[in-house]
Amino acid sequence: MKRFGFLLLPQFSHLSFASMTEPMRIANRLSEHKQFEWVHYCLNDAPTEASDGLMFHPHRPMSETADLDALFVVSGLVAGTDLADADYRWLRGLARAGKVIGSTSSGSYVLANAGVLRGRTCTVHWSLRTGFAERFPSIFLTNNLYEFSDNRWTCSGGAAGLDFVLEIIRREVGPELAKSVAEQCVHPQIRSAQDQQQMSPVARYNIHNARLAQAVSLMESNIESPMTIDQIASRSNVSKRHLERLFDQHLGHRPARFYTALRLGHAQTLLRQTTLPVTEVAILSGFSTTSYFTRRYKAFFSKSPKDDRVE
């Protein structure tokens, strides 16, 4: 039997937490004997509130960890990830004791801050990927649903926690139980670690034109060093004029405006998730000057980059 601990941070994602504990509960019910136990901890041993408003009381104090096989930091997109030095020391102590240390959603930020991800591969929720990569450039980050890197197990959060735990069940008990648990969860297709976190442009924008989908994909992949519309059209095997018609017809915008909106959205993510100066945010979003970036940002979001960061 494996015993897992979960550190619930204030405003943690309840979905991320439940998607990990529920498949373990079902695995126990379907097995002849208990396969998993879990307990949860809260900072300062005090009750904590989930992102949906539900209150959670700790099962035990943070000092009681000797019987754990693994400890997962459960965070969320609105959860703070800067903890007290004592909490980081606690995590490092668990790592030195040989425990598996893991996280879900934005919890990789906490592990990185604690210094327990050095030399490891990890993942994080897709919306936090850019900020994480800028803040921790020496940590190898993937866009996978989950990662097993030695004794560091990280998950991107949300419903991916179900696939993550199904893989744990497969490894610890066997594939048949993992499949049975998936069926009980009405989850007929178990996703692999390499499955994408985000929808493809085809699904997200309801695009059914292959050339338009290729053009959008090129834009999303070239934010810091933008391509020209002529280059995008050429790479998409379509004339510039025809590409403009496709954008107008299917997305309601000209290619240049759509591309600029993507880059400004990227800039907003950096402003809200990192402490990078506005000048650097502008460069990383493909704008050559800060003044031009600020004008375009304010025109699009009705606030300056500085004001958006303060909020």
Domain with CATH 3.40.50.880 in the chain: 2-184
pLDDT digits (tens, 9 = 90+) for 111-131: 999 999 999 999 999 888 888
Q: Are 107 and 117 in contact (CB under 8 A)?
A: no
Residue 173 amino acid letter:
V
Residue-level pLDDT, tens digit, the chain, 311 residues:
999 999 999 999 999 999 999 999 999 999 988 999 999 999 999 999 999 999 999 999 999 999 999 999 999 876 567 899 999 999 999 999 999 999 999 999 999 999 999 999 999 998 888 888 888 999 999 999 999 999 999 999 999 999 999 999 999 999 999 999 999 999 999 999 999 898 888 788 888 899 999 999 999 989 989 999 999 999 999 999 999 999 999 999 999 999 999 999 999 988 887 777 899 899 989 998 999 999 999 999 999 999 988 65
- Total-model pTM: 0.82
Q: Which two tokens mark 184?
A: 């009980």
Domain with CATH 1.10.10.60 in the chain: 201-310
Residue 119 amino acid letter:
G
* Dihedral sign computed on CA atoms, order 203, 205, 208, 213: negative
Three-state DSSP state, 253: coil
Residues 236-249 as b or e (16 or more Cβ within 10 Å = b): bebebeebbebbee
Q: Are 119 and 143 in contact (CB under 8 A)?
A: no
**What fold is seen in the domain 201-310?**
Arc Repressor Mutant, subunit A (1.10.10)
Domain 2-184 has CATH 3.40.50.880: yes
